[in-house]
């Protein structure tokens, strides 16, 4: 059985269907790219898997490691091994980088995880996870903190986007670090070159998976804008 198995997932909010009977799975230790243009439902899917407030399936099932997790709270899912890095990580006043990385896993060596995301521990351990960090630094620290959790599944929501985006090489390094831990990764992106890092890929459009397979195949399909769901209407905007 797959590590994450989603079947017929529909999510409606404010009378609008954002996800429409979406089915999708990720094997243990697999790096899976979820490719899609803006507004296709990538973050919504991530929030449904993580269990964020207000994100409960309207219908369908999310099964993780053999458990139906539809109604579990975020921390309960985290304790089963799911975690997530938001597209724009939030800042915290009065929490040092060192304490942040070890916030749940007290035995983790924060210096080791900082090095994994390309930051010099001696320059960062005692800094605060607050406004004094740049967006790029904050993103790296967030990734270090979820690496330290040793998750079974890490959801990375567009680590390559935003003003302070991480470079493709940075992302490859982080993905390799998760691989080394044996973690599966759901790598959300709107750039096909990032999807190529993954073991498998799926393209999402209007809340449905429109293409799944090898990253190369899916990237080709995505690039060609042949999407049948929107007839190129959504997928043409890149």
Partner 1 sequence: MSELDDLMKAYGEAGGDKAVLENTEIAHLVASGRKLLSMKNVKGLEVDARETLTGISVKVTIKEGVKIKNPVHLCFGILHNKGTQKIKMDVKLEKNASAYFIAHCIFPKAEKVKHIMDAVAEVGENAEMRYSETHYHGLYGGIEVIPKAVVKVGKNGRYFTDFNLITGRVGSLAIDYEVEAGENAVTELTARVFGHANDEIKIKEKVVLTGENSRGLIKTRVALEDEAKAEVTGITEGSAAGARGHVDCVEIVKDNAVASAIPVVKVTNPLAKVTHEAAIGSVDKRQLETLMAHGLTFEEAVDIIVKGILK
Residues 76-115 that bind partner 1 (CB under 8 A): 78-79, 82-84, 86, 89-90, 92-95, 103-104
Query: Among all chains, which residue has been given the structure tokens 């790296």?
Result: 140
Annotate each residue in 119-158 with x if it binds partner 1 (CB under 8 A) or - if it does not, as one string: --------------------------xx--x---------
Work out the angle between the directed axes of helices 135-147 and 168-181 (0-180°, nearest 10): 10
Phi, psi of 5 (to 5 degrees): -130, 110
Nearest alpha carbon to residue 64 among 5, 7, 11: 5
Query: Among all chains, which residue has been given the structure tokens 């709270």?
Result: 73
Phi-psi group of 181: left, alpha or beta (phi > 0 → left; psi -120 to 50 → alpha; rest → beta) = alpha
**Cα(191)–Cα(158) distance, integer angstroms:** 9
Q: Which stretch binds Mg ion (CB under 5 A): 10-18, 34-42, 128-136, 195-203?
A: 34-42
Q: Which stretch binds Mg ion (CB under 5 A): 1-9, 36-44, 88-96, 201-209?
A: 36-44
Out of 37, 40, 43, 145, the residue judged to bind Mg ion by CB under 5 A: 43
Residue 74 near which of Mg ion, ligand ADP, partner 1, none (CB within 5-8 Å, type-dependent): partner 1
Q: Mapping DSSP to helix (H, G, I), strand (E, B) and coil, where does residue 87 land? A: coil
**Residue 142 Cβ vs partner 1, minimum distance, rounded to whole Å:** 8
The pair of structure tokens assigned to 183 is 């973690």
Q: 46 vs 119, which CB is nearer to Mg ion?
A: 46
**Residue 74 Cβ vs partner 1, minimum distance, rounded to whole Å:** 4
The pair of structure tokens assigned to 98 is 């060192």
What is the helix (H) or strand (E) element at residue 12, kind and residue range?
strand 4-13
* Residue 202 in contact with Mg ion, rule: CB under 5 A: no
Which residues sit at the interface with partner 1, rule CB under 8 A?
Answer: 50, 52-53, 73-75, 78-79, 82-84, 86, 89-90, 92-95, 103-104, 145-146, 149
């Amino acid at each position: 059985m797959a590590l994450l198995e989603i079947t017929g997932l529909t999510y409606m909010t404010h009378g609008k269907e954002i996800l429409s009977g979406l089915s999708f799975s990720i094997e243990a230790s697999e790096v899976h790219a979820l490719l899609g243009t803006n507004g296709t439902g990538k973050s919504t899917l991530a929030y449904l898997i993580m269990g964020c407030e207000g994100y409960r399936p309207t219908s369908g099932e999310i099964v993780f490691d053999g458990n139906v997790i539809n109604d579990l709270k975020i921390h309960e899912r985290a304790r089963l091994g799911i975690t997530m890095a938001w597209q724009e990580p939030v800042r915290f006043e009065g929490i040092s980088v060192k304490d942040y990385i070890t916030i749940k896993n007290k035995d983790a060596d924060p210096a080791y995880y900082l090095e994994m995301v390309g930051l010099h521990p001696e320059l960062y351990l005692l800094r605060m996870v607050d406004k004094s960090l740049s967006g790029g630094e904050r993103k790296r620290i967030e990734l270090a903190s979820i690496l330290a959790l040793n998750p079974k599944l890490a959801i990375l929501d567009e680590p390559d986007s935003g003003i302070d985006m991480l470079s493709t090489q940075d992302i490859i390094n982080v993905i390799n670090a998760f691989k080394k831990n044996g973690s599966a990764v759901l790598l959300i992106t709107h750039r096909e070159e990032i999807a190529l890092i993954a073991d498998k890929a799926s393209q999402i459009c209007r809340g449905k998976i429109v293409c799944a397979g090898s990253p190369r195949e899916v990237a080709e399909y995505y690039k060609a804008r042949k999407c049948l769901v929107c007839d190129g209407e959504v997928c043409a905007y890149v």
